[in-house]
Structure 1
């Protein structure tokens, strides 16, 4: 590998404004919740308020939801958002924050932020669905890296 190729493939840090813009563009990421031995990772659609909070809507199936249980007992969670256009053009942001249920009187904030969320159609025929719960992820810290080729 030549030095030009090494320079071309070296990532750059993203600024706070670049991370905000990236989160506004994206609508899906990976939520990581603490479990006893192995982290629980789940792909999630998300909305972003443009400032310091992500919003999720959990579709709840069956009598128990591991995602719901772990969200309720986790003090902190991690969320990863990434986009990979090619080997030399990609971005990723890693966020650490607190996750908690959205109270009924704050659902309007959740709905306003969900404009950029990606919603899969795979769950529309799933049974038995027992409900929908809103969660917010209050961002405590973030880092972002990118390679723009």
Structure 2
């Protein structure tokens, strides 16, 4: 089913302004990176710069498949969504590129990136030696939201 076809089920496209507002009010999404097989999907906390970029804080272990895949990716996807009820949800799918932010530029974004929500275990383990900051540059965006109960689900007032 295409986006245009789903609109008959009370689903609307979000405007660019609504997408910016949604991204600004959320801090967790799913990063999709290409591989030779199935895509690699990683839950990530993020900070949205209010314009055209997300900043992601990578916590690194001894080796990092996420860094390896990010460095190889020509294009990546990032999904942010919320589902309050069956009929009340919003979803933003972003397509773009990933670039590591050089340490010399960290000061401009580090405080904002570090303020994004993340599990407490990661907060406690963060040091400058085991993190990297990546910018996800948004090239394309699509936002969808439900607008209520789809046709056929309304209660019959005469029943």
TM-score, normalised via structure 2 length: 0.81
Aligned to 1:39: 39
Q: Which has the larger radius of gyration?
A: 2
Once residues 85 and 101 of structure 1 are traced to their aligned partners in structure 2, the CA distance between those partners, rounded to angstroms, is 34
State which drifts further: 110-119 or 90-99. 110-119
TM-fit CA distance, 1:39 = 0.2
TM-fit CA distance, 1:116 = 6.3
RMSD: 2.3
Compared with structure 1, are the counterparts of its residues 19 and 121 closer, same or farther at alpha carbon in structure 2 (3 Å cutoff)? Answer: same
1:95-131: CA deviation from partner (whole Å, max 9, x where unpaired)? 00000100112212322543762111133567xxx61
Q: Which has the higher helix share?
A: 2
- Report the count of equivalent residues: 141
Secondary structure (helix, strand or coil) at the match of 1:123 reads helix
Aligned to 2:21: 21
Structure 2: runs of 5+ lacking an equivalent: 1-5, 149-159
Structure 1: runs of 5+ lacking an equivalent: 1-5
Contact 1:89 1:148 in 2 (8 A): yes
Once residues 78 and 27 of structure 1 are traced to their aligned partners in structure 2, the CA distance between those partners, rounded to angstroms, is 16
Compared with structure 1, are the counterparts of its residues 7 and 32 closer, same or farther at alpha carbon in structure 2 (3 Å cutoff)? Answer: closer
Aligned to 1:11: 11
TM-fit CA distance, 1:59 = 0.5
Once residues 17 and 77 of structure 1 are traced to their aligned partners in structure 2, the CA distance between those partners, rounded to angstroms, is 22
Aligned to 1:77: 76
After TM superposition, the runs of 4+ consecutive aligned structure 1 residues lying more than 4 A away are 6-9
Aligned to 2:103: 104
TM-score, normalised via structure 1 length: 0.86
1:67-108: CA deviation from partner (whole Å, max 9, x where unpaired)? 010001101100000000001110000000000100112212
Aligned to 2:50: 50
Aligned to 2:87: 88
